Amino acid sequence: MKSKYKSLYWWIFSVVFTLLIAYYQRSTGPTYPRHGKEEIAGATIKYSLPRSCESGKDARIIIKHVPEGTTGELRYKRFKTNDEYAVLKFTQEDQNLATALPSQPPAGKLEYQVIIKNQNTYMVLNEEPVVIRFTGPVPAYILIPHILLMFLALLFSTRTGIEVIFKGEHAFHYTRLTLIFLFFGGMILGPVVQKFAFDAFWTGWPFGQDLTDNKTLVAFAAWIIAFVRLRKDRTKRGWALAAAIILLAVYLIPHSLFGSELDYSTGEIGTGN
């Protein structure tokens, strides 16, 4: 019974740890909305500036709970171009201000600033322009299994590392499961997601420098090595621990960093920042 309780404890720890790492990766990535709040005319306004939107849809920008008499405008231009800034006026929607950035092709990016005015107060909500990237629509039947399998890969990787550290009996079994989840989630469904989003299955090494593809490849290679070593000799458990550390390091890199980016001058999709 004591062993069973210990195993349950480590599984609970692994789930919580995995959720925290997954949240960290998503919330620190360049596609996570930029949230904030400011004081204007004695009131607190809240905003969430999107940094990702599905291509074919305009990107809605909403400033919430603005005081009466507040107006605003949005300045934007195509990212990494010499375009002049275009200006959109916000419209009143109940107690909110709203407008929408025009849709761009997949991997196209816009940079924008939000300006709020009330009587003699003039405020730029984001002095540093926010960059928003547009992606092609990815079907839920592809995206959801991809996310789930990548979550399971990190979960079993964490559990494998714990099993190695505390000299449990199931290190090879968990290594095998980690490799399976990472293969189907990262190496099979990952490129399919990429194809739907940016019309390319693989933009990492040796064809490009996409960081998401490259870090997935490194992690997968580490787990292949760990699996092969443990299959030959179950005492070589350090390889599994090393693979778990590598996968953790991969997840600590913000998601979509140095991802696909449309070059407006050529119409080609390359790697951005």
Instruction: Give the pLDDT score at 16.
Output: 96
Structure tokens at 216: 């997935």
Q: What would the two tokens of residue 272 be?
A: 């951005």
Q: How far is residue 7's CA from residue 13's CA, in Å, rounded to a whole number?
A: 10
| Cβ proximity of 45 and 37 under 8 Å | yes
Asked if the model's pLDDT at residue 11 lies above 60, the reply is yes
* 226-257 burial code (b ≥16 CB/10 A, e <16): bbebbeeeeeebebbbbbbebbbebbebbbbb
Q: What is the pLDDT confidence band of residue 219, given thresholds at 50, 70 and 90?
A: very high
Average the pLDDT over 98-109 and give the result. Answer: 96
Q: Convert the pLDDT of each residue in 65-86 to its tens digit.
A: 888 889 999 999 999 999 999 9
Residue ranges of the domains in the chain? 2-29+138-271, 34-135
Give the pLDDT mean for 203-212. 76
pLDDT tier at 273, thresholds 50, 70, 90:
low
Average pLDDT over residues 224-250: 95
Higher pLDDT, 203 or 88: 88
Task: Report the pLDDT averaged over residues 124-134.
Answer: 93
Predicted confidence band of residue 39 (pLDDT cuts 50, 70, 90): confident
β-bridge mates for residue 75, sequence order: 87, 113
CA–CA dist 90, 99 (Å, integer): 5
Taking alpha carbons only, the member of 154, 250, 265 closest to residue 211 is 250
Could you tell me the pLDDT band of residue 19, with boundaries at 50, 70 and 90?
very high
Q: Is the pLDDT of residue 257 over 70?
A: no
For residues 63 and 47, give the distance between their C-alpha atoms in angstroms, rounded to a whole number. 5
- Percent pLDDT > 70 in the chain is 96
Q: What is the mean pLDDT of residues 151-162?
A: 97
The answer to whether 115 and 125 are in contact (CB under 8 A) is yes
What is the pLDDT of the chain when averaged over all its residues? 91
Q: pTM to 2 decimals?
A: 0.87
Task: Quote the pLDDT of residue 46.
Answer: 86
Question: Does residue 2 carry a pLDDT above 80?
Answer: no
Q: Helical H runs in the chain?
A: 2-27, 140-165, 171-182, 189-198, 211-232, 238-252
d(CA 127, CA 270): 27
DSSP character for 67?
A: P
Confidence category of residue 1, pLDDT binned at 50, 70, 90: very low
- At 121 the three-state DSSP class reads strand
Q: Give the mean model confidence (pLDDT) for residues 142-153.
A: 96
Q: What tokens appear for 63 in the block?
A: 């400033």
> Any idea which of 6-10, 83-87, 176-180, 241-245 has the lowest mean pLDDT?
6-10
As a whole number of angstroms, the distance between CA 209 and CA 19 comes to 28
CB atoms inside a 10 Å sphere around CB 116:
22
34-135 homologous superfamily: Immunoglobulins (2.60.40.10)
